[in-house]
Structure 1
């Protein structure tokens, strides 16, 4: 079990989730940490810990291992079904590592190599490697153009790391990369606001109601009743065992009254956002869910329940500009939400804004930034990491409850 862990999505050419890379704060360069039994017991006792499946949501996971861990102490409890073993050293230069890789391959593991100097382009192809990962920030475009097409043609799968813009994604895709790691998919495709179809205006209206302090449940019901697909999704969502284990919900109004105001607001916002995200990478929704729960839990910790829903909305709506391919100020004009939510979504300095800064640091595994944010926000490391871990768990539960919007990851080609 782990207390200090983060994840980064790896998407394919269609921007569908392929895997997560898991990043460990207490392992060298984010590698799998080696805890002795005493330290492991201490971590479990003091922190709200996560297992591998908790953080990856049962998706495929890339985990970086130090060579000595691979050779001497590989954790046998990790299943080859969902784990990709990631190396930072070419096994061809270490006979012990080569033998260990042979054993892992025979045990069914996929093996990836971090090759940020593109040695694989100048060395003879080496055995046991299925995937090569390349940090595009560390290699010039000229070197990439020279070597990536030949590597792609060799049959090795290629992952471009540190892809932060849509232009970089397009360049890497055209060069022959198969997979892409980074937050390029959270960038809007255009900064020009588009005219929205009436169906999406309805969804924005619902989202506004969910963020409004004066909640009119009858108005919410009348809006949802105009959209048969949304009514069906809401009933299916509420009858999911992850959400409701007590009784069968048979009508829309029964569902709304059963949940209660806070949960109605939350789930209406979730369903509306999921429906708005119909043409975008579904991982956008997953990132939004983590941010929403993180901001809500942080606000609960700091100030109690009074504005926890507002903090939730800040996190959930933080990628609206990307989902709608518009600029945030224009989008917010259509949403009659409170000024404190608007200010946070516009990046104006404030406590909600700092919540977003903190959760974004978790997204990228920026451990130094996370430590400084804990100090700035006067929260202990234990409490901060527990909040993030709870947000991850909750988002994975929502992934199951919103399974229509989260197709399974694709197999390695």
Structure 2
């Protein structure tokens, strides 16, 4: 039987502190497992996973609170080949030491600075000075690798940074600080911030998530490339994939989207994101996604969502779009293996939908209760429902047929 991916997402975070040990921010690091000590790769895929995991899964607030998030980025993200679909307010983009510095890179950095992004040069040493000379005046922070370096070598790095940075020298961060003597030397040399095992080892934060089917993401990207695409068409695609629906909602709720407000339908989430942001997120999802859920479980979730939508014809006061979304989300507790209260806390849902999911309140709560009862042949509950049993059977069969066709399309590629 084909499977749909469900997995834990992991992000490591290591504090960066000032001289009083107050936290400036956290460097966010891709982790492939709960016990991993370092990233599996420093590449575009790892950067894509960090962005997706941070902004569309765990949430930046959960990882850094009111502090800054330092994220390693590779060349394609700096020159604009790959998108950065989040606002610049709470992040610092770290330029890796492996990035080739040329005119295209410098132009990309200038565009990012003009857009409000802060940047840091990572892993600087004095012997790398000539390579980064043109970049130094454009960054806000320089991270100097002080491990196994003498005080005189560290001093040369500091002096070069100050000499080449122009009128606005960057703040210096000593990284890989692993002993008190090194920390004291760095303070005396004028470093403002410090990072390393002495001050805190990377801690890993995790959360379960559903991965959208790659074929669905690719179809959505293809449609988004068309200038005359409508939100009706986009909604039709997103509704086919429970994992994609979940991530779209999370993206709206993240700081990346720039706003937090209650959502009552998939369509409303798409409108709030907009074509450009949606395209950026979907591209990163494809890049990031390389414990599975059995296809049958996904089929149950989609059948329930469709049945909830159809039941609005028999229950006044319930919107079909809201019913579909509520039915879809009502399956996430068993798909993700987390309580429904936690699922709802992660998403920017309208109060009516949230109460329906957690407490079974209102018309939407009643619709979900009926759909669940029909799934398991709970005759006692069905006997009390306001919909005639003769109408439930065709609604369920209609929903089942739609679900089988939809899930079949999503997993065959």
TM range (shorter): 0.3 to 0.5
The TM-score normalised by the length of structure 2 is: 0.39
The structure with more strand, counted as a fraction of residues = 2
Structure of larger gyration radius? 2
